[in-house]
Amino acid sequence: MLLIGRLLMRGFWALAFSWERFNIPALEDSTQETLMARQGLKTGWRAFGCLLSVSHLTKNFGKFTALNEVSFEVNDGDVLLLLGPNGAGKTTAIRCILGLLNFRGQIKLDSLDARGDGVLLREKIGYVPQQSSYYENIRILDQGRLMARFKKASFGELKSKLEMVGLWSVNNRQVKSLSSGMKQRLGIALALLNDPPLLIFDEPTSNVDLSGQLEFQGLLQRFSGEGKTMLITTHLTGLDRYVDEVVVLDSGKIVAKGSPQQLLARLGATDTVFIRLELAEIPEALSLLNQNGFGAVTTKEDWLLFSVSTAEKAKLLGILSAHSLVVKDIVIQPRDIESEYLRLSGNAEN
């Protein structure tokens, strides 16, 4: 009886959520008309410029200041990376944007205010949380239906999103039986419902294995290619390629902000270049490079190891070829913003 009671409770709960949403399209495939109406709505979402604006965001937990006058913007179509050690305030900032925490300052998404228009604002955000936060004792499909109802998405759309992440075939499985990677994929599928203009990923790779991380990188590449606006907090390296702007947070304050190139230039970051030559030519190459200002050159067997800026890489190769030194192999380890940030903040252990 208690079980029946619980089921009834769930049913009425879901029913009650829809009490003021009589205009929700039924959970079947959308009609062309509905689709066109939604397309129109989405067109209205495009901001052509700043999509998300966070200004003077401050959050205190008692006497502890988690965020202190944090300001940043995410432009339409851009990918912004929020970087920082544990406790820097990244997740707190995201929770403020989602209206889950009270805050001081102002958060606007395409002219909607996070305080006054919370529900409308969240309609435009697809959020993938850091940890699995779903109802564990229901099926994937039921979890999906619930979120689809909230987001006014059709059943057809739910199906296509679950298919996209490879979960449609197992939609009858209970959420609790899924692996971390599958839960993450479920989160991404549900976040994409109704094609929100802003996607927020909170540490999307913290609970998944290497294959999950690579999978996420693939999805990120795809979304980036589709021009989606994204806000990501992560410790995953190698995201520079997809990121337009980086905001570095530390102890609730912004310590650096700008494009990855700007930040790397400001940090004086360099690429690491490994060049393999004939062993007999190593002394001559070393001498030449020293004469041309490449001071910090180290050797290991027939390999030369340099730290050089992007502009100097071509010059380096030019010098070697001008003196008929044959480069047998070359490996370039590009600089990345995460490792430079860790070096800067002295948090290498993170």
CB of 69 to another protein, least distance (A): 19
Contacts of 72 (CB under 8 A, 6+ apart): 54, 80, 245, 247, 254, 257
Contact 149, 17 (CB under 8 A): yes
- Nearest approach, Cβ of 12 to another protein (angstroms)? 4
- Nearest approach in angstroms of CB 83 to another protein is 22
User: What is the longest distance spanned by two Cα atoms in the chain?
Assistant: 88
Q: Cα separation of 251 and 241, whole Å?
A: 27
Report the run of H or E that residue 51 belongs to, with start and end.
strand 50-61
Smallest gap, in angstroms, from Cβ of residue 52 to another protein? Answer: 15
Least Å distance, CB 181 to another protein, is: 18
> Given the complex with another protein, which of 27 and 305 has the nearer CB atom?
27
- 6-11 contacts: CB < 8 A, separation 24 or more? 10/138
Q: Is 167 exposed, middle or buried (0-12, 13-18, 19+ CB in 10 A)?
A: buried
Site residues for another protein per CB under 8 A:
1-2, 4-6, 8-17, 19-20, 95, 98-102, 118-120, 122-123, 125, 127, 129, 131-136, 147, 150-152
Which helix (H) or strand (E) segment holds residue 9: the answer is helix 2-17
Minimum CB distance to another protein smaller for 103 or for 294: 103
CB of 127 to another protein, least distance (A): 5
Q: Amino acid letter at 60?
A: N
Nearer to another protein among residue 23 and residue 169 (C-beta): 23
Residue 278's CB: how many other CB atoms inside 10 A? 13
What Rg do the C-alpha atoms of the chain give, in angstroms?
25
